[in-house]
Amino acid sequence: MKIKIFSVFLIFLSINNIDAQTATSLSINDTRAINDLPNFTFYNIRADFKERSVINVPGEGYWSTNLTVGQWHDNTGDKNHQLNFNNGGIFYRNAFATDGQWGGWKQLLMADGNGNVGIGNTNPLAKLDISGNLILRNYDNLDGKGNIITFTSYGSDLQGPQIRSYLSYAAGVNSKMGLVLSSYSKGYMNELFLIDGNVGIGKANPTNKLDVNGTIHSKEVKVDLLGWSDFVFKKEYNLPTLAEVEKHINEKGHLENIPNEEEVLKNGINLGEMNAKLLQKIEELTLYMIDQNKNIQSLIEENKKQNEEIIALKKNTLSK
């Protein structure tokens, strides 16, 4: 009887051993409320059912599942690795077996059925859809190349408009950063738009808040000024005589307080300031015209009076 029981037991062990060797599933341990240390498993792959908040994993939903690879009991086998699956995606972290805690969670990128990848969102609407900030790192951009985003419809050819950052640097000099919108074609870069605190359109090194190398077409331009030229009409204004104006023109070759041709060709003009100066000359000219009109009216009246006196004198002469 004992021999038969022993034989049945051996057969049972053999069957279990065969089942173990041909297993097609991995059991999931229910450790939902435990935040395991990195060394909780080794020499195996382990699955655990977890509350998402217990292990502080990002994502969505209350529950999640960990898949942990613990290949060694100490640091000689390098780090242990862990994946977490929840409604917000798949997340990864690692740590050495003897570390006091796991490293931070990192989300793995996944494409949806349309081939779109979402970062920070689960419903990407484009090939790359980012909810949040985007940082492009380039530690070798001291040569001025910086980071480049290229928009092209030429397949593998990089021709097309580019958005390019740059960093210029010289020893002992503050670095200068900027953003360039360029057109790249056949090995040549044509800078269309540049921002480095100043904005340049068609100009590589803008020295003003907006430098445009070309024509500006606008429905309206508004210029803020600190003053206007109506001071000409105030009683205390010293209106130069026409003789003084003529003398200045003969000596200088231009109106007083108006830049000469050489200055304009070299430095351009300040639109608001020039409009104010031109208005000043118009207002001065208006005063000259008013004054001359008064003189003309006075001469007309005097001439009329003289004509009347001449007519009266002729009548008296004829009557005698």
Note whether 195 and 257 are same-domain residues: no
Residue 285 lies in a domain: yes
Residue 217 lies in a domain: no
Report the C-alpha gap between 152 and 161 in whole angstroms: 7
What is the domain count for the chain? 3
Domain range for 165? 141-212
Parallel, antiparallel or unpaired: strands 117-119 and 106-107? unpaired
CB-side neighbour CA atoms (13 Å) of 225: 14
pLDDT, position 4:
41
Distance of CA 54 to the CA centre of its chain: 39
Domain end among 178, 212, 246:
212
Note whether 295 and 242 are same-domain residues: yes
Residue 221 lies in a domain: no
pLDDT, position 176:
56
pLDDT, position 189:
57
Residue 18 lies in a domain: yes
**Long-range residue pairs from 115-122, CB within 8 A, at least 24 positions apart, any chain:** 122/60, 122/88, 122/89
Residue 319 lies in a domain: no
Note whether 71 and 48 are same-domain residues: yes
pLDDT, position 138:
65
Residue 134 lies in a domain: no
pLDDT, position 166:
61
The Cα-based distances of 106 to 47, 57, 88, 93, 304 in angstroms read: 19, 9, 12, 6, 102
State the residue for tokens 């395991």: 36
pLDDT, position 253:
92
Q: pLDDT digit of tens for each residue in the chain (320 aa)?
A: 333 433 433 444 444 444 445 557 889 999 999 999 999 988 899 999 999 999 999 999 999 999 999 988 888 889 999 999 999 889 999 999 999 999 999 988 888 888 898 887 878 898 889 888 887 776 554 445 566 777 766 655 666 666 666 655 444 445 555 666 666 665 555 655 666 677 777 777 778 888 888 888 989 988 888 889 899 999 899 999 999 999 999 999 999 989 999 999 998 888 888 999 999 999 999 999 998 999 999 999 999 888 888 888 888 887 76
Domain end among 149, 183, 212:
212
Residue 225 lies in a domain: no
Residue 222 lies in a domain: no
The Cα-based distances of 188 to 182, 185, 194 in angstroms read: 10, 5, 17
Note whether 125 and 96 are same-domain residues: yes
pTM of the model: 0.46
